[in-house]
Structure 1
Amino acid sequence: MTEANSLPPLPDHLSTDPRSPHHVAAVFEHDIGIRFNDKERLDVEEYCISEGWIKVPAGKTVDRRGKPLLIKLKGRVEAFYR
Protein backbone atom coordinates (compact mmCIF):
# COMPACT_ATOMS: atom_id res chain seq x y z
CA MET A 1 0.00 0.00 0.00
CA THR A 2 1.20 3.54 -0.67
CA GLU A 3 2.26 5.91 2.05
CA ALA A 4 -0.36 8.18 3.58
CA ASN A 5 1.73 11.25 2.69
CA SER A 6 1.46 10.61 -1.06
CA LEU A 7 -2.34 10.26 -1.07
CA PRO A 8 -4.37 13.33 -2.09
CA PRO A 9 -6.76 14.60 0.60
CA LEU A 10 -10.33 13.38 0.24
CA PRO A 11 -12.65 16.26 -0.69
CA ASP A 12 -15.84 17.13 1.19
CA HIS A 13 -17.95 16.61 -1.96
CA LEU A 14 -16.95 13.98 -4.53
CA SER A 15 -18.66 12.50 -7.60
CA THR A 16 -17.78 9.51 -9.79
CA ASP A 17 -19.20 11.24 -12.89
CA PRO A 18 -16.31 12.80 -14.89
CA ARG A 19 -18.64 15.56 -16.20
CA SER A 20 -19.39 16.77 -12.66
CA PRO A 21 -17.52 19.78 -11.21
CA HIS A 22 -17.03 17.66 -8.06
CA HIS A 23 -15.05 14.94 -9.85
CA VAL A 24 -11.37 14.73 -8.77
CA ALA A 25 -9.49 12.25 -10.96
CA ALA A 26 -6.44 12.07 -8.67
CA VAL A 27 -8.57 10.61 -5.87
CA PHE A 28 -9.88 7.79 -8.08
CA GLU A 29 -6.34 6.58 -8.81
CA HIS A 30 -6.49 5.04 -5.32
CA ASP A 31 -9.03 2.69 -3.75
CA ILE A 32 -11.49 4.67 -1.59
CA GLY A 33 -14.35 3.55 0.61
CA ILE A 34 -17.50 5.21 1.93
CA ARG A 35 -18.98 4.41 5.32
CA PHE A 36 -22.63 5.51 5.65
CA ASN A 37 -24.23 5.23 9.11
CA ASP A 38 -21.39 2.90 10.21
CA LYS A 39 -21.86 0.49 7.27
CA GLU A 40 -19.58 0.39 4.25
CA ARG A 41 -21.39 1.08 0.95
CA LEU A 42 -19.99 -0.03 -2.39
CA ASP A 43 -22.63 1.59 -4.64
CA VAL A 44 -22.10 5.30 -3.83
CA GLU A 45 -22.04 7.57 -6.91
CA GLU A 46 -21.66 10.90 -5.07
CA TYR A 47 -21.27 12.06 -1.47
CA CYS A 48 -21.06 15.20 0.67
CA ILE A 49 -19.62 14.83 4.16
CA SER A 50 -20.53 18.29 5.53
CA GLU A 51 -24.19 18.07 4.40
CA GLY A 52 -24.44 14.37 5.36
CA TRP A 53 -25.78 12.67 2.21
CA ILE A 54 -24.89 10.13 -0.44
CA LYS A 55 -26.40 9.39 -3.84
CA VAL A 56 -26.90 5.77 -4.88
CA PRO A 57 -28.57 4.12 -7.91
CA ALA A 58 -32.32 3.50 -7.58
CA GLY A 59 -32.42 -0.15 -8.63
CA LYS A 60 -32.02 -0.85 -12.34
CA THR A 61 -33.85 2.25 -13.59
CA VAL A 62 -31.96 4.46 -16.01
CA ASP A 63 -32.63 7.82 -17.61
CA ARG A 64 -32.90 8.40 -21.36
CA ARG A 65 -29.12 8.65 -21.67
CA GLY A 66 -28.56 5.27 -19.99
CA LYS A 67 -27.25 6.70 -16.70
CA PRO A 68 -28.73 5.22 -13.49
CA LEU A 69 -31.33 7.28 -11.63
CA LEU A 70 -29.95 8.33 -8.26
CA ILE A 71 -31.63 8.72 -4.89
CA LYS A 72 -30.26 10.81 -2.03
CA LEU A 73 -29.88 9.20 1.41
CA LYS A 74 -29.18 11.33 4.47
CA GLY A 75 -27.06 10.24 7.41
CA ARG A 76 -23.50 10.20 8.74
CA VAL A 77 -20.92 9.96 5.92
CA GLU A 78 -17.25 9.03 6.26
CA ALA A 79 -14.77 8.68 3.37
CA PHE A 80 -11.49 6.80 3.71
CA TYR A 81 -8.67 5.18 1.73
CA ARG A 82 -8.58 1.39 1.84
Structure 2
Amino acid sequence: MSDVMPDRLSVDPDSPYHNAELLMKGIGIRFKGEEKTNVEEYCVSEGWVRLAIGNRVDRRGKALTIKLQGEVEPFLKGE
Protein backbone atom coordinates (compact mmCIF):
# COMPACT_ATOMS: atom_id res chain seq x y z
CA MET A 1 0.00 0.00 0.00
CA SER A 2 1.36 3.38 -0.98
CA ASP A 3 0.79 6.39 1.25
CA VAL A 4 2.20 8.81 -1.34
CA MET A 5 -0.20 11.69 -1.85
CA PRO A 6 -0.45 13.43 -5.24
CA ASP A 7 1.23 16.80 -5.67
CA ARG A 8 -2.06 18.32 -6.81
CA LEU A 9 -5.65 17.24 -6.18
CA SER A 10 -9.07 18.75 -6.87
CA VAL A 11 -12.60 17.86 -5.73
CA ASP A 12 -14.05 19.19 -9.03
CA PRO A 13 -14.90 16.21 -11.29
CA ASP A 14 -14.21 18.36 -14.39
CA SER A 15 -10.61 19.01 -13.31
CA PRO A 16 -7.73 16.95 -14.75
CA TYR A 17 -6.44 16.70 -11.14
CA HIS A 18 -9.58 14.98 -9.83
CA ASN A 19 -9.11 11.47 -8.34
CA ALA A 20 -12.45 10.11 -7.09
CA GLU A 21 -10.96 6.88 -5.70
CA LEU A 22 -8.49 8.77 -3.51
CA LEU A 23 -11.13 11.26 -2.37
CA MET A 24 -13.39 8.39 -1.28
CA LYS A 25 -10.64 7.15 1.07
CA GLY A 26 -10.69 10.49 2.87
CA ILE A 27 -8.10 13.21 2.49
CA GLY A 28 -7.13 15.75 5.13
CA ILE A 29 -5.24 18.98 4.47
CA ARG A 30 -3.07 20.91 6.90
CA PHE A 31 -2.48 24.46 5.69
CA LYS A 32 0.11 26.43 7.66
CA GLY A 33 -0.19 23.81 10.42
CA GLU A 34 -4.00 24.08 10.77
CA GLU A 35 -6.40 21.43 9.46
CA LYS A 36 -8.82 22.82 6.86
CA THR A 37 -12.15 21.26 5.88
CA ASN A 38 -13.17 23.57 3.01
CA VAL A 39 -10.30 22.87 0.56
CA GLU A 40 -11.45 22.59 -3.05
CA GLU A 41 -7.97 22.10 -4.58
CA TYR A 42 -4.35 22.07 -3.44
CA CYS A 43 -0.84 22.01 -4.89
CA VAL A 44 2.06 21.01 -2.62
CA SER A 45 4.95 21.94 -4.95
CA GLU A 46 3.59 25.45 -5.62
CA GLY A 47 2.42 25.92 -2.01
CA TRP A 48 -1.22 26.96 -2.38
CA VAL A 49 -4.78 25.89 -1.60
CA ARG A 50 -8.16 26.99 -2.94
CA LEU A 51 -10.69 27.37 -0.15
CA ALA A 52 -14.45 27.54 -0.69
CA ILE A 53 -16.07 30.82 0.37
CA GLY A 54 -19.10 29.74 2.40
CA ASN A 55 -21.95 28.33 0.33
CA ARG A 56 -21.57 30.78 -2.55
CA VAL A 57 -21.49 29.48 -6.12
CA ASP A 58 -20.78 31.02 -9.51
CA ARG A 59 -23.24 31.02 -12.41
CA ARG A 60 -22.16 27.49 -13.39
CA GLY A 61 -22.84 26.11 -9.91
CA LYS A 62 -19.16 25.77 -8.93
CA ALA A 63 -18.05 26.92 -5.47
CA LEU A 64 -16.47 30.37 -5.28
CA THR A 65 -12.92 30.03 -3.99
CA ILE A 66 -10.02 32.05 -2.70
CA LYS A 67 -6.40 31.05 -3.36
CA LEU A 68 -4.02 31.24 -0.40
CA GLN A 69 -0.23 30.71 -0.38
CA GLY A 70 1.57 28.72 2.31
CA GLU A 71 2.77 25.31 3.44
CA VAL A 72 0.41 22.49 2.38
CA GLU A 73 0.45 18.99 3.96
CA PRO A 74 -2.03 16.44 2.58
CA PHE A 75 -2.65 13.21 4.53
CA LEU A 76 -4.94 10.20 4.53
CA LYS A 77 -7.48 10.33 7.34
CA GLY A 78 -7.38 7.50 9.89
CA GLU A 79 -8.90 4.23 8.84
Would you say same fold, with TM above 0.5?
yes
Runs of 4+ in 1 over 2 A off after TM superposition: 58-61
1:30 correspondence with 2:34: no
Structure-2-length-normalised TM-score: 0.87
Distance in 1 (CA, whole Å) between partners of 2:39 and 2:67 is: 10
* Structure 1 residue 52: Cα displacement: 0.3
Gaps of 5+ in 2: none
Q: RMSD over aligned Cα, in angstroms?
A: 1.4
Task: Give the share of equivalent positions with the same residue, in percent.
Answer: 52
Partner of 1:11: 6
Question: How many residue pairs are counted as aligned between the two chains?
Answer: 77
Higher mean alpha-carbon deviation, 41-50 vs 66-75, is at: 66-75
Which secondary structure does the structure 2 equivalent of 1:45 belong to?
A: strand
Kindly indicate which of the two structures has a greater share of residues assigned to strand. Answer: 2
With normalisation by structure 1, the TM-score equals 0.85
Bigger Cα Rg: 1
